[in-house]
Every structure is written in C-alpha cells, then in structure tokens.
Structure 1
C-alpha cells in the first residue's frame, strides 16, 4: 500500500516553531535535551531523505572507498525466498495499489497464493509459491490492472528499484490494413519483430476468422521510443505498415517513450516522430 499522503506527526508543529529558531515542548519549555520529550519531530539530515545520483555515488565512493563484505549465510537464506519465485513490477502509467495487482494476477493466472510487497519508487514485488506459478504469471501478459500497463521482470539478486530496473513490457501489437498474402504466422511475426520481440499471434489472427488487423503479442523495451511502423517492399510498391500498440499509457510527444510527458522529458534532441505514433495509439 502506498504510504505517502500522511504528514509525519509533529511536522506542522515544527513549522510553527521556526519564528525564534527553537523547538517547544507541550509545556512551553525549550526541548531537545537528552531525556526530554519534544513536541516536534526533528527533520532527518539530507543524507537520509536524498537519494544520490550516479555522479554523486561516484564522488561518495572516492571519499569513502571502503567496501564492506557482509556474512553470506543469512543473505543466502533470504535469497532462497525470492529466487525463482518473485517478479518485480512497475506501472508505466499511474500507480496501482499492490493488493489490486496481486488479486488480478492470482485470478487471471488461476493461482492460489500471490503475495504483493510494495517497494520504493512505485515498484512492487510479487511472490509466488513456485517457479512454475511465477512463469505462468509472466506468460499470461500483457498485464493491465486498473487501466494501467505493467512492466514485469523476474527478480534478480541485488535488485534496486529505479527507472531502468524493469524495462521489459509485454504488449499487444496490431498490424492494420495488412494485405491478405501477408497473413501467414511466420510473415506476421517477422513484421512484428521490428517493433519488439514477438511471442505469438492471437487465435483470431492465426485462424483468419477476421482480417481487419493482425494481432501479435510482443515484448518491447519500455525505456526506448515506440516504433510507429515500417516500410515493406511489396510486389508492386513500397508500403507503410503502421504499428498500433494497445493500452499505451502516458506517452511523451517529444521522444515517443512511455511513462512521462513533454514537460518531464529528459531526452533533449530526440526525434519528434510522435506525429506517427499519435495516429497509431489504441488507448
């Protein structure tokens, strides 16, 4: 469950006591001495609330070069609870409560026990009873919970939440206006390989029960721009084949990447190919 939103006890009181630079106890006496009860929480230092950037970590490492080796036995025992049975998850749109994700995964993948553990930076971990259960959940994607597309990846040792910690996301890709002669599964998968790593075509596409668009399950890199389509050399002409991705969340109109908008884009100078992408999005 997201723990944000509640103001720490005493935060307001601390703010009102700044006029004279002193913190007051409930009895009006100045507090802060050992053994006295303060009416306000003191703010933690910046090294507690600030997560250092890669450049800052490099400078800190030069200043504090000692590398600590921890006892392996308790760490190895703890890893056994995660190894082969856990998945790291992040939403590419709005945050979704961990319990909603666990319930959806358990229901759709027909699993009896899925435990959700909220992490930092919008990540959460899903723990399963077995490796088979974990793999079954991963193969069941794409995962869309509360309208939000989720990126998932198996847990690995020393995992740290971060923007690029989980980059693979399973999505449905549509290929509209595909000529009939291109409707063999092998040809469709070859075309889809330009958008991501193709996994399989859906049943309707495979059996050609409807041919308005071919539908393919693909794994894409969530940190890379979505490709709007490709040029295909046909028998009589070169044609443009659009790529339409289903359930695309927040999409930047400057760089074509998921997860942020123009105001928060840090990819300066990226090609603004979104004019194609906006036409291909299926929300």
Structure 2
C-alpha cells in the first residue's frame, strides 16, 4: 500500500470549458525546478533494465552533471542534470548507445506529449576498414562515408589519428538506405575495398518505412497482407468458377455434371 504524505490537497473550482472532458489549466509562470534541466529519452528497439540504464548513464554523464534518473511504465527515461547547459552538452556529444541500443534524447518542455515518433532517419556509428592512410583527413573521410549516408563527425581517435585499425564515423542514414557491407574506392588506377561495420542499427520496417520494428512483426503489414488475400479471393469468385456442395447421395449423372462445371471433364 502507498504511504501517505503530509501534504494536504484541496478542492478547486474548475474553470469553465466548452468540453466537459477538458480541465482548463492556467499557465504556470514560476520555476519548474529539476524539470527545467531534464532530458527525455527512449530506445527504438528494446527496453533495457532500469538499473542497467541508470548505471550506464551515470558512468558516462556523471562528470557532465547528471544528478538523477527516473523512468515511467511506457519506456521513457528522465535524466535530470545540474543545469540546462549540461543538457546541451549531452545532446551535442551524441548519439549515445546503451547496450548497443540507440538512445533517442530530447529536451523536456512544458506540456510535453510522451509519444514515440515515427523515425525514418537515425545517426549511426560505422567502422570503415582498409581506408588508405593518406585519406584519413576530414575532407576525404567525408567523401568516403558519404557512400553510406550523411556524414556528421568522426570520433576523437579517428580525428587525431590515434588509431589505424579502422576509421570510426557517425553518419545519418535513411530507412531506405541500402547499408552496404563493403564498397570500393578508386584513385587513378588503384582500387581498394572498404569493409563496413554498423553499430547498433535498429530494426526497420519496409512496409511502414520507419525504424523501430521489423517488417515480419509489423501489425500494419500483416493487416495489409490479409486485405490483399481477401481481394484475391474475391477476384477468384468473379471468374465464373463456383463450388457445388454435396447433400447426401447423388446419381452418377449429377456427379459427371459437377466435374464438368469445374473443368475436369468436358460436359455434353
């Protein structure tokens, strides 16, 4: 059972409204405390355990001013920071991944509707292997990664040349992007194969053309397939064929006629 707080409520006469189902609220002009420095986030694919999310975010954002993490029952997380500048730094340094899942973040605002949007474009970290050393600068990395999507930025190790195993770049991809596993770069007569690895790419639905669920488990796609099957069945009924149901015993002559109707034997 819930414990009772010491704060007492009181009855307030509601403001008049044209709709009896609407409660008119006056604007709140005073400060909103911790919610003014809050980020709201959710995952596209799977829900992760709350304790895992809390520990992971504190490991990454504690030095950036993270103070508190909360969650509701619909998969939304609330990250409370010291101030609004800390929220801005976290948003600027994204995208962020938890358990290889992309965490979508948005600044909290008044009267915010907590709905998971239809996402058709997402930022994705990619690893580019076998990139020639002379092409590890900003301009050439932009050109090469444009094969995958819209280049956003490199990670720190790639930009400083501190690693040579692979180039790590963040690109924005569309739900219709092919996401190749490899492609080739050519300079004059020399050709080099570039291998690509994608980090935390969420499932995508080709029917809805959004990220967040796959086509196989899409309810809208299943309904569309059922409607399509129904139309095919109705068209088959219009082509002149019909099924004759048997009722009891029949004479041989009647059976021959029925088989002729179905096109099995010529009917004379």
Which of the five TM-score ranges fits, normalised by the shorter chain?
A: 0.5 to 0.7
When the two structures are superposed, what TM-score results if normalisation uses the length of structure 2?
0.56
Distance in 2 between residues matched to 1:125 and 1:178, nearest whole Å: 40
Distance 1:196 1:161, change over 3 A: farther
Query: 1:71 corresponds to which residue?
Result: 26
C-alpha offsets along residues 212-251 of structure 1, whole Å, 9 cap, x if unaligned?
A: 4321134556xx3454158877545998866532122445
Residues 1:128 and 2:105 aligned together: no
8 A Cα contact 2:119 2:211, kept in partner: no
Unaligned runs of 5+ in 1: 1-63, 269-283
Distance 1:260 1:240, change over 3 A: farther
Query: 1:214 corresponds to which residue?
Result: 167
Query: 1:262 corresponds to which residue?
Result: 215
Query: 2:105 corresponds to which residue?
Result: 152
Query: 1:272 corresponds to which residue?
Result: none
User: What do you get for the CA RMSD once the two structures are aligned?
Assistant: 4.1
C-alpha offsets along residues 34-88 of structure 1, whole Å, 9 cap, x if unaligned?
A: xxxxxxxxxxxxxxxxxxxxxxxxxxxxxx699875311x3x43656433x1111
8 A Cα contact 1:152 1:169, kept in partner: no
Residues 1:96 and 2:51 aligned together: no
Distance 1:165 1:93, change over 3 A: closer
Paired residues in the alignment total: 201
Distance in 2 between residues matched to 1:166 and 1:158, nearest whole Å: 22
Distance 1:70 1:264, change over 3 A: same
Residues 1:245 and 2:231 aligned together: no
Q: How many angstroms does 1:89 deviate by?
A: 0.8
Distance in 1 between residues matched to 2:119 and 2:143, nearest whole Å: 25
Q: How many angstroms does 1:130 deviate by?
A: 0.7
Residues 1:182 and 2:135 aligned together: yes
Please tell me whether Structure 1 or Structure 2 has the larger radius of gyration of its CA atoms.
Answer: 2
Distance 1:167 1:82, change over 3 A: farther
8 A Cα contact 1:151 1:167, kept in partner: no
Residues 1:86 and 2:38 aligned together: yes
Distance 1:185 1:234, change over 3 A: same
Q: How many angstroms does 1:266 deviate by?
A: 6.4
Determine which of 65, 72, 75 is the counterpart of 1:119: 72
